[in-house]
């Protein structure tokens, strides 16, 4: 397959910039609407901002699925989740003057529910291998629409818990200067820009991957994951600089929860079913679990994220990327298939 690599790189860069701009509109409108409707800070971060900033990941899964490459989208979600829990809090921690404050609600509710989300999605993949195996292939299965309902149901529980926790909340924020109709219009414009940009991004990365013979899952874990995670990074850094540490960290965990429990199942619901290589998924989910445990540990120490701990998270992500590159180049074998 003939691919013009300079053109592909330019399109990827342009699409990433467009995703950043569209997400900036989306996030600004989402935050103002959350203020207008009187939502508490943890819900603004874990639900409103998280869903808004996760839209690029959702779009990547949808477009990859419609193009017959849902594995690329699933890889983007897993890679984005690892990027989110390591790079985004670290970037916010380095960009701010002091430590980022956490809270017990964040650590014991959001972080633990997110770890439950990781477990449930991996169990769903295991069900695919057990009940819908691919004939002639070891540890390959198909995630069907009924199986996709399992993580979707868990996200429904997540929304229910958030609703219960905010039932008695009374907002003290001044929303007098916010025009909700204008904010909904800006939000819609951001969605359109993101959709167009992600469609181009997925197409170019898929073409380059086919030309080079690189597994689509690994391309999703690295290139698409980093590009679609840019909005989450900007949202968390902005919240941390505004001294809203809880919202900054809640956005990370809420985004990952949405990506795992909604974005991947939505892709499956659209295409009907998708193949899963369990031998590829398990090491990646092990890396994601280790990254989550590391974030949980540093947040639990004094309920803050210090600059030193931020650099520790960045080093952990550098190790992950080095491992993936070593796998792709053939320097390390026996961990990831192919």
pLDDT, tens digit (0-9, with 9 covering 90-100), for 95-120: 887 788 877 777 777 778 888 999 99
Confidence of residue 311 (pLDDT cuts 50, 70, 90): very high
Q: Using one digit for the tens of pLDDT, what is the confidence trace for 3-56?
A: 577 777 788 788 878 877 887 787 778 778 777 877 665 565 556 666 666 777
pLDDT above 70 (res 278): yes
Q: What is the DSSP letter of 69?
A: -
The whole-number pLDDT of residue 333 equals 63
Q: Across the strands, what pairs with 100?
A: 305
Cα 44 to chain centroid distance, Å, stands at 17
Pick the more confident residue, 214 or 123.
123
Q: Across the strands, what pairs with 219?
A: none
Per the prediction, the chain carries an average pLDDT of 80
Residue ranges of domains in the chain, CATH in brackets: 5-167+178-329 (1.20.1420.30)
The whole-number pLDDT of residue 1 equals 47
Q: Using one digit for the tens of pLDDT, what is the confidence trace for 280-304?
A: 888 888 999 999 889 989 988 888 8
**CB neighbour list of residue 231: distance below 8 Å, 6 or more residues apart:** 19, 20, 23, 24, 26, 27, 52, 53, 55, 56
Confidence of residue 318 (pLDDT cuts 50, 70, 90): very high
pLDDT above 90 (res 314): yes
How confident is the model over 267-279, as a mean pLDDT?
84
CB 53 within 8 A of CB 232: yes
pLDDT above 90 (res 145): yes
CB 36 within 8 A of CB 239: no
Question: How many other CB atoms sit within 10 Å of the CB of residue 50?
Answer: 27
The whole-number pLDDT of residue 39 equals 67
The whole-number pLDDT of residue 42 equals 55
The whole-number pLDDT of residue 166 equals 65
As a whole-number percent, the residues of the chain with pLDDT over 70 amount to 85
The whole-number pLDDT of residue 48 equals 63
The whole-number pLDDT of residue 254 equals 79
pLDDT above 50 (res 191): yes
pTM (predicted TM-score): 0.79
The whole-number pLDDT of residue 64 equals 72
CA distance 332 to 81: 23
The whole-number pLDDT of residue 124 equals 95
Pick the more confident residue, 43 or 76.
76
Question: How many other CB atoms sit within 10 Å of the CB of residue 144?
Answer: 17
Q: Using one digit for the tens of pLDDT, what is the confidence trace for 213-266?
A: 766 667 777 777 777 777 678 777 877 877 777 777 877 887 788 888 988 888
pLDDT above 90 (res 206): no
Q: At what angle do helices 55-66 and 264-271 cross, to 10 degrees?
A: 30
CA distance 224 to 215: 13
Confidence of residue 128 (pLDDT cuts 50, 70, 90): very high
**CB neighbour list of residue 226: distance below 8 Å, 6 or more residues apart:** 79, 80, 83
Q: Using one digit for the tens of pLDDT, what is the confidence trace for 146-174?
A: 999 999 999 888 888 877 766 665 666 66
């Amino acid at each position: 397959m003939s691919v013009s690599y300079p053109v592909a790189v330019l399109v990827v860069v342009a699409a990433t910039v467009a995703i950043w701009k569209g997400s900036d509109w989306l996030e600004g409108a989402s935050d103002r609407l959350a203020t207008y409707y009187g939502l508490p800070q943890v819900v603004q971060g874990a639900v409103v901002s998280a869903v808004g900033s996760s839209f690029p990941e959702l779009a990547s899964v949808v477009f990859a699925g419609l193009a017959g490459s849902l594995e690329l989208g699933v890889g983007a979600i897993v890679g984005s989740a690892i990027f989110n829990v390591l790079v985004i809090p670290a970037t916010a921690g380095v960009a701010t003057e002091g430590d980022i404050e956490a809270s017990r609600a964040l650590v014991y509710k959001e972080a633990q529910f997110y770890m439950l989300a990781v477990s449930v999605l991996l169990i769903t993949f295991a069900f695919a291998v057990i009940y819908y195996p691919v004939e002639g292939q070891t540890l390959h299965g198909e995630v069907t629409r009924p199986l996709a309902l399992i993580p979707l149901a868990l996200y429904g529980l997540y929304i229910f818990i958030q609703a219960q926790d905010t039932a008695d909340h009374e907002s003290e924020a001044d929303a007098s200067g916010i025009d909700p109709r204008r904010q909904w219009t800006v939000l819609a414009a951001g969605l359109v820009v993101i959709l167009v940009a992600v469609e181009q991004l997925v197409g170019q990365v898929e073409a380059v991957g086919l030309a080079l013979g690189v597994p689509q899952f690994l391309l999703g874990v690295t290139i698409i994951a980093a590009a679609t995670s840019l909005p989450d990074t900007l949202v968390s850094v902005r919240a941390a600089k505004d001294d809203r540490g809880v919202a900054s960290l809640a956005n990370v965990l809420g985004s990952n929860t949405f990506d795992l429990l909604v974005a991947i199942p939505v892709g499956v619901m659209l295409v009907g079913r998708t193949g899963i290589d369990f031998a590829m998924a398990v090491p990646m989910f092990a890396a994601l679990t280790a990254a989550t445990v590391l974030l949980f540990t540093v947040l639990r120490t004094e309920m803050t994220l210090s600059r030193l701990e931020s650099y520790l998270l960045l080093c952990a992500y550098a190790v992950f990327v080095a491992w993936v590159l070593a796998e792709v180049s053939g320097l390390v074998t026996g961990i990831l298939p192919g």
